[in-house]
Structure 1
Amino acid sequence: MKMLRFGLLMIALSVIAAPVLADRLKDLARIKGVRNNQLVGYGLVVGLDGTGDKAPFTNQTFRNMMTQFGITLPPGVNPNLANVAAVTITANLPPFAKPGQELDITVSSIGNADSLRGGTLLMSPLKGADDQVYAMAQGSLVVGGFGAQGADGSRITVNVPSVGRIPSGATIEREVMSPFTRGDTITFNLLRADFTTARRVVEAINGQLGPDMAYAHDATSVSVKAPRDPSQRVSFLSILENIEVNPAEDAAKVVINSRTGTIVVGQNVKVSPAAVTHGNLTVTIEENPEANQPNPFTDGETVIEPNTQIAITEDPARMFQFGPAVTLNEIVQAVNQVGAAPGDVMAVLEALKQAGALRAELIVI
């Protein structure tokens, strides 16, 4: 018997936002031009226990490496590279990084290698978007994944054994030029664009440093007059980034995760007057196949005929009413009183939005 129940049995989470508290400027914004830069490289991991790949580009890379070491492989010789794997290397170059400092790197197989456990990355250059080399990577991999395979072909894998990390596995060779010391101003870009927050940032800076020290370009960018001397600019920024600002309240939103059943209702969500009723529909499908036997002393065959029975049951629904200017707390109480499941809450919120009664942006992720 197959049971098809229309409804989502999930866990709902309703969050009541706390009062807005003051945040430091460093938590609300980032300095323009001060950013990470992504690096990427290609290399070989050697020393594997027969878990390497057999990709053609691995053989080509291996031959090129041997040539650089002054070793020429005979033509037509195809080396067995079961202990070698071709990989990509990725890293983030932080702002103000200087040559000689070290970076953590992530090494990922790009062929059909089974595992990188126990391997060693050979020296590989890491390049930026401008195709310039900014770091050199090398070292022994730390692999969190594990895999095992039996003689009958059965296997078990824990996590991902084809990806590993090398702490401090890359050394910075080139510095990225930063616009930090250029110009007469420093610009802060808000992490969340908001006109009210931008105005409050300007007011907080001018209130502490003096009038006309800061001005807003738009809902994201705020510029502050700053000294040109680098040492003075560092001290100046130390003061700026610790100024406390009361950020504006976000717009009213209801976020629904249809995969996990999570429902987050923002603080400013309101509902216009509306009456809601919602019930669950249960469809039961039962298969009872019947066998028809042929007549005696005949050449007939037994025939299986399907026999399907379908029953539909609708659970009793309860109605609840929202009054005018309903608050978040009243919404939660009304839904909890009727014992609605998370899936039902999702359907109710979507219907309220379509009816124009939900005064909030409905976001489904």
Structure 2
Amino acid sequence: MYRLLIAAAATLVVTSQASAQVRIKDITDVAGARGNQLFGFGLVVGLDGTGSRSTFTQQIAVDMLQRMGTTTQIFSQLPAESVLRSTSISAVMVTAEIGPFARKGGKVDVTVSAIDDARSLQGGTLIFTPLRGADGNVYALAQGPLSIGGFSVTVGGGGVQKNHVNVGRIPGGGLIEKEAPGELVRDGKATLLLKDPDFNTSRLIAKTINERYPGVASASDPGAVVLCQPTDLTKSATQLIAEVGLLEVRPDIPARIVINERTGTIVAGEHVALSPTAVAHGNLYIGVSINPLVSQPAPFSGGVTAVVPRVQVASSEQQARLVPLPKSTTVSDVARTMNALGVTPRDLIAIFQAMKKAGALHAELIIE
């Protein structure tokens, strides 16, 4: 029982204190200041026998050599799989994100992922690869040696591998060739977008800004606060947004419980409340074991020896007791009440789901 209490207390993470003061810039984004995803298709070379011999990859390598002007008579006479049989290459997808105000000539990090049957990208170098945006335009060029952050060694029938070796990064490997458009101010207005939209938080942000700069901010909806630059304010739009971002507010955090069923983690926020209810929870365990038995025929019977599986099924059920739960108004009360039941973290997940369905749990339940 003591171990169960410790496990439940460790897994139910609570935030019982009032929400802290946070900077506006940490809970909002500026409309127009967004990154852009880039992608490209390329080839990694220089692999130490860990590349791909697939026809797909070999054809890509041949096509690239032909585009570079490296053509011979054998290229036109033989199929790609016969021209080039190399295990030092791999076809890859290259991805990157360019910032909203990145300038031409700047650099970005790129991620390289194998899309063929290469065993490892360790020691490889990405060949010149254009990176395009959603509009099809080339915004950056990527090239350089890969950093894997792991290794893979195979000897004979065994091997050792650390981390994932089919994905690598090239820090600063993307050179920006075209700037992504970014527009902060439109029609004399800038908009702050809340990362977690909420009516009250939007109102509090506008109120805090207007206390410093009267008449500047208005909450247009739960997810946006519009900034209008007054004519008597000599600050630039960039300076105004920077100073507004440093102002602090106390966001209104909704009652919410987040459950990750894969890890058994439960995180409960502020304002989670319980109505008076009663909970009975028991566990049913079913075990199935298979033991192979050898059936030996009698001498001179003409039968053959056979292996027959012997299946055994056992079950046990823990006795459940009905526990009344009082009204709880804080998340600390909820944690103490749940831990007092002496249930495991996995049981807590099932209990929370049942209480939500019964209407006794007054919080948004998010299951991941």
- TM superposition score normalised by structure 1: 0.85
Counterparts of residues 202-351 of structure 1 (less than 5 Å): 202-210=206-214, 212-226=215-229, 232-250=236-254, 252-283=255-286, 311-351=314-354
> Residue 16 of structure 2 contacts residue 331 of structure 2 at CA under 8 Å; is this kept in 1?
no
Give the one of 61, 81, 90 matched to 2:86. Answer: 81
Other-structure match for 1:26: 25
Other-structure match for 2:172: 168
> What are the ranges of 5 or more consecutive residues in structure 2 without an aligned counterpart?
1-6
Other-structure match for 2:205: 201
Measure how far apart 1:316 and its partner are: 3.5
Instruction: Measure, in 1, the Cα distance between the counterparts of 2:293 and 2:49.
Output: 56
> Residue 259 of structure 2 contacts residue 267 of structure 2 at CA under 8 Å; is this kept in 1?
yes
Give the one of 109, 116, 122 matched to 2:121. Answer: 116
Other-structure match for 1:4: none
Q: Which amino acid aligns with 1:89?
A: V
> Residue 30 of structure 1 contacts residue 191 of structure 1 at CA under 8 Å; is this kept in 2?
yes
Instruction: Measure, in 1, the Cα distance between the counterparts of 2:129 and 2:36.
Output: 18
> Residue 145 of structure 1 contacts residue 162 of structure 1 at CA under 8 Å; is this kept in 2?
no
> Residue 318 of structure 1 contacts residue 338 of structure 1 at CA under 8 Å; is this kept in 2?
no
Per mean C-alpha deviation after superposition, the further-off stretch among 285-294 and 335-344 is: 285-294
Other-structure match for 1:38: 37
Instruction: Measure, in 2, the Cα distance between the counterparts of 1:311 and 1:171.
Output: 64
Instruction: Measure, in 2, the Cα distance between the counterparts of 1:33 and 1:96.
Output: 10
Other-structure match for 1:159: 163
Measure how far apart 1:306 and its partner are: 7.5
> Residue 62 of structure 2 contacts residue 84 of structure 2 at CA under 8 Å; is this kept in 1?
no
Instruction: Measure, in 2, the Cα distance between the counterparts of 1:147 and 1:308.
Output: 41
SS at match of 1:217: strand
Return closer, same or farther for 1:290/1:25 CA change in 2, 3 Å cut-off. Answer: closer
Measure how far apart 1:262 and its partner are: 1.3
Per mean C-alpha deviation after superposition, the further-off stretch among 138-147 and 346-355 is: 346-355
Instruction: Measure, in 2, the Cα distance between the counterparts of 1:283 and 1:182.
Output: 64
Instruction: Measure, in 2, the Cα distance between the counterparts of 1:183 and 1:170.
Output: 34
Measure how far apart 1:291 and its partner are: 8.4
Instruction: Measure, in 2, the Cα distance between the counterparts of 1:291 and 1:123.
Output: 63
Return closer, same or farther for 1:343/1:62 CA change in 2, 3 Å cut-off. Answer: closer
Measure how far apart 1:105 and its partner are: 0.9
Instruction: Measure, in 2, the Cα distance between the counterparts of 1:193 and 1:255.
Output: 17
Q: Which amino acid aligns with 2:341?
A: V
Please give the per-residue CA displacement for 1:42-78, whole angstroms capped at 9, x wherever unaligned.
2222222222222334333333333343321222341
SS at match of 2:184: helix
> Residue 12 of structure 2 contacts residue 335 of structure 2 at CA under 8 Å; is this kept in 1?
no
Per mean C-alpha deviation after superposition, the further-off stretch among 50-59 and 309-318 is: 309-318
Please give the per-residue CA displacement for 1:108-159, whole angstroms capped at 9, x wherever unaligned.
122222222222222221111111111111111112232222334x344322
> Residue 181 of structure 1 contacts residue 230 of structure 1 at CA under 8 Å; is this kept in 2?
no
Please state if 1:177 is matched with 2:181: yes
Please state if 1:102 is matched with 2:107: yes
> Residue 218 of structure 2 contacts residue 226 of structure 2 at CA under 8 Å; is this kept in 1?
yes
SS at match of 1:267: coil
SS at match of 2:226: strand
Other-structure match for 2:363: 360
Return closer, same or farther for 1:356/1:301 CA change in 2, 3 Å cut-off. Answer: same
Please state if 1:132 is matched with 2:134: no
- TM superposition score normalised by structure 2: 0.85
Measure how far apart 1:257 and its partner are: 1.8
Identity %: 39
Measure how far apart 1:95 and its partner are: 1.5
Return closer, same or farther for 1:24/1:140 CA change in 2, 3 Å cut-off. Answer: same
> Residue 14 of structure 2 contacts residue 335 of structure 2 at CA under 8 Å; is this kept in 1?
no
Instruction: Measure, in 1, the Cα distance between the counterparts of 2:234 and 2:138.
Output: 27
Measure how far apart 1:93 and its partner are: 0.2
Measure how far apart 1:351 and its partner are: 2.3
Per mean C-alpha deviation after superposition, the further-off stretch among 283-292 and 322-331 is: 283-292
Other-structure match for 2:3: none
Aligned residues between the structures = 354
Measure how far apart 1:194 and its partner are: 0.6
Please give the per-residue CA displacement for 1:210-268, whole angstroms capped at 9, x wherever unaligned.
1x221122111111113799982222222111111221121x22222222111222321
| CA root-mean-square deviation | 3.0
Instruction: Measure, in 1, the Cα distance between the counterparts of 2:85 and 2:295.
Output: 63
> What are the ranges of 5 or more consecutive residues in structure 1 without an aligned counterpart?
1-8
